[in-house]
Structure 1
Amino acid sequence: MSLFQAFLEAFPNDPDQTVLWTCDSEHYSYRDLYEFSGQLANALQQNGLKSGDTIAIQTGKSADLVFLYLASLRVGLTCLPLNPSIALSDLSASPETQRLSLLVCSPDKEEQAQESAADLNIASILTLGTRGDGSLMSACITQDLLFQDSPLAADTPAALLPSGTTENRAVLTSMTQADLLREARDLVKKHSLNGEDVLLHALPAYQKHGLFSLVNMALLSGSKICYLKSFDAVRMTGLLPRITVMAGNPVVYQHWISSSSFTGDIPQSVRSCLCAGGLPSKESSDLFYDYTRRKINIL
């Protein structure tokens, strides 16, 4: 079973239920997820991409990025998320990046991407902004909302993830759709997620847990996603009454704990505080517990 097919089987009977909303008052339903990802999938295929191809993504955090990830699953592409602060030239020494079929970057990075395209053998470059802008979104306008999904093998590669460096080149680890599905099922079980949960997504989208894990476990469990586009301590604190599970990383928690908006007053409805990529420092973790009487748990 493909990962997207598993998501479809977990969708509620009412496709117009909200599944993702942002602090900018953007609300998206399951129908939107299906149709917008289908439109993007058609645009990707129109651009010559096919199952087995690899795309690199270096954009800001937005709901459109979630749709792009889902579109890549439907086409059978491998996604390589890149930290926006990384220079593309730094990737030239990695053999896995010598076969990129597409780079999706922020509009303000397009000129730099064009300069690096030859060294990285990038076949095509499209842009994606954080406000529905960019050449990729323009290419979607004429595309059908319905995408003809083809059967995909469970071992279809889906993600390339930086796992360190060696001899001055990036080391990338591959995960298949089956790997991501297995991980999502384990996370749903581990954290007892269900359709009543609302997850505060405060993770960077270029990290594994931000682009893949949190989205996967939410869609598989029927949980809703409150999508925080960038770190904002005041907004995070204000959103607490509307969520049941918080997900950040050590940096997010440490910045939040040290902010003036952190009072330690976490509603009882927030049943779990999860942290991806390890835990905050002992000092921050202890301070968090002292204020909230809650423990931060590893995602």
Structure 2
Amino acid sequence: MNGHRESEEPLLRTVEKEPRTFTWNQMHRMAGRMARALQRLGARPGDRITVQVEKSPETLALYLACLRGGFVFQPLNPAYTTAELEHFITDAEPAVVICDPDRKADLEPLAARIGARLSTLRGDWKGSFFMLQMVQPETFETVARGPDDPAAILYTSGTTGRPKGAVLTHGNLLSNARDLVFVWGFTTDDVLIHALPVHHAHGLFVACNVTMLAGASMIWLQKFDTDAVVKAMPEASVLMGVPTFYARLLEHRGLKRAAAGMRLFISGSAPLSPALHTRFRERTGHAILERYGLTETGMNASNPLDGERRPGSVGPALPSTEIRITDRDGGAVLPTGETGMIEVRGPNVFSGYWRREK
């Protein structure tokens, strides 16, 4: 999966500050230059690339560069402190660390300790990595990778101890994106309002991978802003968000008119209350589509595109995914209506935790 469609049509456009538009071919060429830049920094296929930068079109290009170069993308929350980063970086042992120029002095000693090269990137055409990629040839032959080869490592929240790196393969990402394109009816005509962060699965793998696999396009917002999202709706068809997005949108006077031409509102990453689901439908005429997933599996279930979207429900399993509910103690499969442990099987399930046997 390398996210390319041969086209001079827009893939992504920003609408804040200085608006920028990137066509599919422009993004592909930038990803090629970045893949070459990573090679210049010493990265080889299979090496981890740790990335802690603010959201920008260049961040997406860097993700695509890792997919094309056979590197393993490790995104980290830009809000993490240097102390918090120590575990993630020493555990992953990346070949290259890319951070915001303002974090360089803090992270240089840590990168040096593990023998990683450090470079900087920011979305305003600044940073040593940005300058390095600018002087690279645009042509790059994508490194062949199989479905079982790692594509990314995302660290879990650590509710059962220190955060663990979930290793997601190319096959995991591709199979899940294919399912979601199908069940959500994505086409080349769709325009997604992208207002999510890109350091976790929702904003990166669900939003970006689905859009790119469908050959659709994105209106790219630096962060969620109610006015900006409502303003973008007349030119868009889909919004992916978290429940708080929808709660805040309900406070906007222009929501009903702006949402009239939208095709789909999707919610995830946290439970959507039935009350919020009902209020949004009554206000806009749109029933929010809720889905369910995990960092380790991608998406597992979704309410239907056509048919009833039940408030408080995440819908049936995706086409390539099997789900069952089992007893917490004995492991016996439970009948419908019972509460127990969720077990998932399918090509979307991760290969394991980084450097953990279990």
Distance in 1, matches of 2:125 and 2:242, equals: 27
Is contact 1:92-1:98 (8 Å) kept?
no
Task: Look up the match of 1:116.
Answer: 110
Pair 1:102 & 2:103 matched? no
| Cα displacement (A) at 1:235 | 1.0
Aligned to 2:231, which of 234, 238, 243?
238
2:277 corresponds in structure 1 to: 285
Work out which of the residue numbers 225, 241, 254 in structure 1 matches 2:218.
225
| Cα distance in 2 between the residues matched to 1:96 and 1:261 | 48
Aligned counterpart for 1:264 among listed residues 251, 256, 275 = 256
Q: CA deviation at 1:166?
A: 5.4
AA aligned opposite 1:245:
V
Residue 264 of structure 1 contacts residue 291 of structure 1 at CA under 8 Å; is this kept in 2?
yes
**Is this contact kept in 2: 1:19–1:225, CA < 8 A?**
yes
**2 CA distance for matches of 1:229 and 1:94?**
24
Deviation at 1:188, TM superposition (A): 0.2
Aligned partners of 1:106, 1:95: CA distance in 2, in Å?
Answer: 15
Q: Where does structure 2 lack aligned partners over 5 or more consecutive residues?
A: 292-358
Task: Give the alignment of 1:162-241 within 5 angstroms.
Answer: 162-165=155-158, 168-241=161-234
**Contact 1:157–1:177 (Cα < 8 Å) also in 2:** yes
> In structure 2, do the counterparts of structure 1 residues 114 and 257 end up closer, same or farther at CA, with 3 Å as the change threshold?
farther
Distance 1:144 1:91 in 2: 33
Aligned to 1:204, the other structure's residue is in SS state coil
- Cα 1:185/1:174, change in 2 over 3 Å: same
SS in 1 for 2:163: strand
Partners of 1:218 and 1:167 lie apart in 2 by 33
Compute the displacement of 1:175 (Å). 0.4
TM-score (norm 1): 0.89
Q: Determine the C-alpha separation between the residues in 2 that align with 1:256 and 1:141.
A: 39
C-alpha distance in structure 2 between counterparts of 1:22 and 1:209, whole Å:
19
Q: Distance in 1 between matches of 2:54 and 2:202?
A: 16
Q: Which runs of 5+ in 1 are unaligned?
A: none
**2:289 maps to what in 1?**
297
Offset of 1:167 from its aligned partner? 6.4
* CA pair 296-93 structure 1, distance change in 2 beyond 3 A: same
Q: 1:219 to 1:58 in 2, by over 3 A?
A: same
Cα shift at 1:278? 3.1
1:34 maps to 28
Report Cα offsets for 1:21-54 as digits up to 9, x if no partner.
1114211111102111101111111111011001
Deviation at 1:163, TM superposition (A): 2.2
SS at the partner of 1:158? strand
Distance across 1 between alignment mates of 2:63 and 2:8: 21
1:236: Cα distance to partner? 0.7
- The answer (yes or no) to whether the contact 1:237–1:261 under 8 Å persists in 2 is no
Q: 1-side partners of 2:97 and 2:245: how far apart? A: 28
Q: Taking structure 2 as the reference length, what is the TM-score of the superposition?
A: 0.75
Q: Secondary structure at the match of 1:28?
A: strand
Over residues 264-289 of structure 1, what are the superposed CA-to-partner deviations in whole Å (9 max), with x where a residue is unaligned? 33443211001231344444333322
The answer to whether the 8 Å contact 1:202/1:229 transfers is yes
Q: Which amino acid aligns with 1:288?
A: F
Do the aligned partners of 2:272 and 2:290 also contact (CA within 8 Å) in 1? no
What residue is the counterpart of 2:10 in the other structure?
18
Identity %: 28
Relative contact order, higher structure (CA 8 A, sep 6+): 1
Q: 1:135 aligns with which of 128, 137, 141?
A: 128
Higher mean alpha-carbon deviation, 198-207 vs 278-287, is at 278-287
